[in-house]
Homo-oligomer: A and B are copies of this chain.
Amino acid sequence: MDGGGEGRGLLSDRIRNALTDEIAAGALAAGVSLDEQELADRFGASRTPVREALRQLASSGLVEVRPRRGVVVTRMTPERIMEMFETTAEFEAMCVRLATYRMTPLELSTLMNLHEQSAVPVKASDFDTYDALNRGFHEALYEATHNRFMVEQALAIRARLSAFRRTQLRHGERIRRSHAEHGGILQAIAEGDGDGAARRMRAHMLNAASALGRYVAEQTGS
């Protein structure tokens, strides 16, 4: 037996997750080069799974591999983060537009349920619960496109942002506005107004981005 489900999967996967967290948390600063042997020692593993983990991180954009010159943590400028947010915003807008035209009544009802459920954590300022429901809301919208590939793309892009999203909702007022914006999107969907829903979604995401932007500015600027 292991310590409770964490020693379960592949070693390379665990290393990848650990590195993902460290990069997201800032423990591994942008730009620092990652020595394979050093990481191997640190994780008590050999270079092989470390290499695999690093390649996986590279394909999700968290690190950059320069052939024969080592791996460095991708430098995430505020501009870059904003670009990622804009792309996510546009992608989600696109999804919600399609979803509006394709959603089944059952899916719409599920979405509305999610929305109402999330009113509770909003009132209680329970960030973690809201974050989970928020995530569910957006993912339900992806699913409603009825396009598996698009769902996967959306999830992949969203995953690349998750490192930065985690702090974004901790700003009291933002969570309330987020919930209200969801309501607006839902209404547009219910009215069959795909373009309107898309517009609202774009605005919703960009609002989140600008909330994050202020946070990033506080962190990097001074």
User: Are B9 and A80 touching (Cβ within 8 A)?
Assistant: no
Q: A52-B55, A55-B55, A55-B56 are in contact. Are A67 and B149 (CB under 8 A)?
A: no
A-B contact pairs, 28 of them (CB 8 A): A9-B67, A48-B48, A52-B52, A55-B56, A56-B59, A59-B59, A59-B60, A61-B152, A80-B148, A80-B149, A83-B148, A83-B149, A83-B150, A84-B149, A86-B147, A86-B150, A87-B147, A87-B149, A87-B150, A87-B153, A90-B94, A90-B98, A90-B150, A91-B91, A91-B94, A93-B94, A94-B94, A153-B157
Copies in the complex: 2
Cβ-closest chain B residue relative to A10: B67
Q: Which residues of B contact A9 (CB under 8 A)?
A: 67
Interface of A is mostly: helix
How many chain A residues have a CB neighbour from B under 8 Å? 28
Q: How far is the CB of A100 from chain B (nearest CB, A)?
A: 13
Cβ-closest chain B residue relative to A157: B153
Q: How far is the CB of A46 from chain B (nearest CB, A)?
A: 12
Q: Which residues of B contact A153 (CB under 8 A)?
A: 87, 157
Chain A, residues 137-157, CB within 8 Å of chain B (1/0): the string is 000000000011110110001
